[in-house]
Chain A
Amino acid sequence: MTVATVPGRRVRVPRRYVPVLVTAALFLAMFAAGGIRYEGFATGQIILNVFIDNAFLLVVAVGMTFVILAGGIDLSVGSVVALSTMVAATLLKQGWSPWPVMVLVLLIGAVLGLGMGAIIHYFEIQPFIVTLAGMFLARGLCYTIGTRSIPIDDPVFTAFAQTRIDLGADMWISPGVVVAAAVVVVAAYTLHYTRLGRNVYATGGNEQSALLMGLPVARTKIAVYTISGFCSALGGLVLSFYMLSGYGLHAVGMELDAIGAVVIGGTLLTGGSGYLFGTVLGVLVLGLIQTIISFEGTLNSWWTRILIGLLLFVFILMQRLITARRR
C-alpha cells in the first residue's frame, strides 16, 4: 500500500492534484502487484471487467461527486437504485414496453432527488437527515411493491445484458459500460466547462460567499440532488441490465461504496475541491480490491469491507493533512 505522503516544498505538482495522483499511483501499484503475483492478471480485460462489474457504481458515484462537491451528502442512492430495479421489473412484468419504463424510472429518480434537494435548501435541514428519510422512503417503497426478486425477461433488457461490444484484441465491454462512460463524459464536461459546474464548486467552497457573489445557490443545491437522483435511477437501470432482476435488497450499503469511491478519488468531503476523474479512479480501486481478493482465493469476501475501511481511513487522513497545510 502507498503511504499518504504530501510532496516536499520544491515539487512542482500543484497541491490540488495530489489526491488524484496518489489514487492513480495506488491503482497502478495494485495493478502491478496483482500482475506480478497472479498469472493472467495483467491484461486489459481485467480492467475492463472491473468496469463491467462496477458500471452501475460508477454512474451512482458520478452523481454523488456532484453532491459532495457542493458540500452535501446523499445517503439515499442505494435505495433509489433498488427502487429503480424494482419499478422497472414490475412494470415490464405487467407488459409495459421497455422504453417508457426507462423514461419513467429516470423521472422517478430525478423527482425524488428534486424533492430532497428542495427540502434541504428551503427548510434548512441537514442533507444527512433528509436523504436518510429518502433512503427509508425508497427502500420502503421497494418492499411495498414486493419482497421477492422479480426476474426480467424483456428482450430489450436481455439484449442490453448479453450484448458484447468487441474492442479487438480479445477485449470486450458491456453496453452498461458505454452508458457509464457517456455519463462520465457528460458529467466531466458539465463540472469543468459549464456555468452549473462553476456554481457547484463555488457553493461547495463557501455557500455564504457564493450567495453574496450573486450565484444561484438555491438552484445549484437543488440541481445537484436532482442530478444525484437521476444518476441513481440510471445506475439502477444499468444494474437491472447486469442482474436481469428487480429486488428490494439490491444495492444494500451502496451509498457507502459510492461515498468511498468519491473520497478515495480525492474529492474533499467538505466540498469545493475534487475532480470527476478521481471518482473514476476511486471506483477502479474499489473494483480492483474485489478482483484481487477473488484472485487470491483464500481471502474471504469480508476482507473487502475491511480493506475499503482501511483505504478510507488513509485517504481521509491525507485530506486532513492537505487541508491543514493549506491554512
Chain B
Amino acid sequence: MTAPAPAPASVPASVSPGRRLLGHRLFWPAVILVALLMINPVFTDGFFKVELKDGHLYGSLIDIVRFGAPLILVALGMTLVIATRGIDLSVGSVVAISGALACLRISDLGDQNSAGGVLAAAGVALALSVALGAWNGLLVAGVGVQPIIATLILMVAGRGLAQLITDGQIITVNSAPYKLIGGGYWLTLPFGIVIVLAVLALTAFLTRRLALGLLIESVGGNAEASRLAGIGARGVILTVYTFCALCAGIAGLMISSNVSSADGNNAGLWIELDAILAVVIGGTPLSGGRFSLGGTVLGALIIQTLTTTIYSIGVPPETTLLFKALVVTVVCLVQSPAFRAKVFHRRRRPAGASPVAEEKVRVSA
C-alpha cells in the first residue's frame, strides 16, 4: 500500500481529476470500505441485494447501516470533541445511563404504549445525557483537567450510576413506541437510519454552513491563540462535550430500544474505543484542528462492515479485536508524519538522524 497523499485541504484546480481523486482525504477510507464490502459476496449469496418487503427495506447493506447507527452517532459527537484536541472516554457510560433511565421511566408507566410517556422518558434520558456532557465540558474547559482524565472520571463512575439506576438488574420493557426508535421503520427506512441522517444533516449544517466548525477547528489548532483572537474557547469546548454526550444519549436509546431492555453493565461497552477508531480511520487527526464528518461516517461503516464480514466468512468473532488492533496500528502509522518521513522518504533525511527506526517495527499478531 502506498502512502496516501498528506490530505491537502485544497488541491489546485490545475491538477488532473485522477490525482485530485487520489489526493482527496476520503479516498482511502472509501477504498477500504469498498474492498471490505467486495469480500462479502464470495461468502454470502445476494449480499448486495436490497429488497422491499411489506413496505420495509431489507438487505445486508441496510443491516450494516442499521446496526452501525449507534456507532455512527457516537462517532459524530466524538469527531467534534477530537477536533478540539480533546477526547471523550465517557460515551460508553452515557450510552448505558441514558438507556437505563429511559427503560426505568417506561417500565414505571401505567401504559407502556402511550407515546407521550415514552417521549417524556426519552426526553428525561437525553436531558441527563446533556447534563453529563456539560459536566465533562466544565471539567475540561472550566477546571482545565486533561480531557482523557476528566472523562475517565465519568467513565468509571458512570457504569456505577447506570447500575444504580437499574438497581443491578436488566430492565425489560414492552413498549411499541419505544421499540420504534431502534427497531422500527419509517418511510421504508429503519428508524435508526432516519435519526442518523437527521443528526448528520444538523451537524453538517451547524459546522459547515455556520461559523461553529471554524471555531472548533481554531480551538483545536491552538486554544490559546484562538482565545486571544476573541473566540470563546471555553464555550466552544463546553458545547462539543455536551453535543457528544447528547449523541451518546441518543445512541443509548437506540441500543436499549433495539433489544427492549437496559443492561447497565454491557450496554455500550467498548463503544468509546470503536468511536475513536472510527474517527481516526476517517482521517480526523487526534491532534485536533481539522475534522471530517464524512470520514467519520465512513470509518464507522468500515468498523461495522468489518464485524459483519468476520461473521459472514466464518472466522471466530473473537478475533474481531485482533483485526481492529491491526487496523488501528496501520492507520495510525500511515497518518504519523514521523513514520512517513522515516519509511517513505528515508533518503531525504540527513544520514544518522535516527538509525534505529525500522528495526523497531511492531511485533503484532
Please, which residues of chain B bring their CB within 8 A of the CB of A256? 152, 155-156
Please, which residues of chain B bring their CB within 8 A of the CB of A118? 360, 362
| Cβ contact within 8 Å between A137 and B336 | no
| Cβ contact within 8 Å between A300 and B163 | yes
Please, which residues of chain B bring their CB within 8 A of the CB of A317? 143
Within 8 Å by CB of B159, from A111, A135, A137, A305, lies A305
Of B20-28, B204-212, B315-323, which binds chain A? B315-323
Beyond A137-B325, A256-B156, A309-B154, is A263–B149 a contact (Cβ under 8 Å)? yes
| Cβ contact within 8 Å between B363 and A115 | yes
Bound complex: CA A132 to CA B354 (Å): 26
Tell me how many residues of A have a C-beta within 8 Å of chain B. 48
Tell me how many residues of B have a C-beta within 8 Å of chain A. 54
| Cβ contact within 8 Å between B157 and A124 | no
**Beta-carbon contacts under 8 Å, B33-70 to A:** none
Asked if B117 lies at the interface with its beta carbon under 8 angstroms from chain A, I say no
Chain A positions 220 through 246: 1 when the CB is less than 8 Å from some CB of chain B, otherwise 0: 000000000000000000000000000
Bound complex: CA A118 to CA B354 (Å): 12
Within 8 Å by CB of A136, from B149, B273, B280, lies B273
Q: Main SS of chain B's interface residues? A: helix
Within 8 Å by CB of A308, from B156, B326, B339, lies B156
Instruction: Identify the closest chain B residue to A260 (Cβ).
Output: B156
Beyond A115-B363, A123-B342, A136-B273, is A128–B318 a contact (Cβ under 8 Å)? no
| Cβ contact within 8 Å between A312 and B324 | no
Bound complex: CA A15 to CA B258 (Å): 53
Asked if B103 lies at the interface with its beta carbon under 8 angstroms from chain A, I say no
A326–chain B nearest beta-carbon distance, Å: 14
Bound complex: CA A125 to CA B342 (Å): 13
Chain A positions 100 through 144: 1 when the CB is less than 8 Å from some CB of chain B, otherwise 0: 000000000001100110110011111011101111110111011
**Beta-carbon contacts under 8 Å, B129-147 to A:** 143-146
| Cβ contact within 8 Å between A133 and B320 | no
Asked if B75 lies at the interface with its beta carbon under 8 angstroms from chain A, I say no
Asked if B120 lies at the interface with its beta carbon under 8 angstroms from chain A, I say no
Within 8 Å by CB of B143, from A115, A134, A136, A320, lies A320
| Cβ contact within 8 Å between B325 and A124 | no
Please, which residues of chain A bring their CB within 8 A of the CB of B149? 263, 269, 316
Asked if A291 lies at the interface with its beta carbon under 8 angstroms from chain B, I say no
Within 8 Å by CB of B164, from A302, A310, A312, lies A302
Bound complex: CA A259 to CA B168 (Å): 25
Please, which residues of chain A bring their CB within 8 A of the CB of B280? 129
Within 8 Å by CB of A137, from B158, B332, B356, B365, lies B365
B83–chain A nearest beta-carbon distance, Å: 15
Within 8 Å by CB of A129, from B168, B332, B339, lies B332
Instruction: Identify the closest chain A residue to B335 (Cβ).
Output: A125
Within 8 Å by CB of B320, from A125, A129, A140, lies A140
Asked if A270 lies at the interface with its beta carbon under 8 angstroms from chain B, I say yes
Contacts A/B (CB < 8 Å), 26 sampled: A115-B362, A115-B363, A115-B364, A119-B360, A119-B362, A123-B342, A126-B287, A132-B328, A133-B325, A133-B329, A134-B325, A137-B364, A140-B323, A144-B318, A147-B318, A256-B155, A300-B163, A302-B159, A305-B157, A305-B159, A305-B163, A309-B157, A316-B145, A316-B150, A317-B143, A320-B145
Q: Which 7 A-B pairs have the closest CB atoms?
A: A309-B157, A143-B318, A305-B160, A140-B321, A140-B322, A118-B360, A302-B163
Question: CB within 8 Å of A: which residues of B?
Answer: 87, 143-146, 148-150, 152-161, 163-164, 168, 264, 273, 276, 280, 286-287, 316, 318-326, 328-329, 332-333, 336-339, 342, 354, 356-357, 360, 362-365
Question: CB within 8 Å of B: which residues of A?
Answer: 73, 111-112, 115-116, 118-119, 122-126, 128-130, 132-137, 139-141, 143-144, 147, 248, 256, 259-260, 263, 269-270, 300, 302-306, 308-310, 312-313, 316-317, 320
- Beyond A122-B360, A132-B273, A309-B153, 4 additional pairs, beta carbon < 8 A: A256-B152, A270-B146, A306-B161, A313-B153
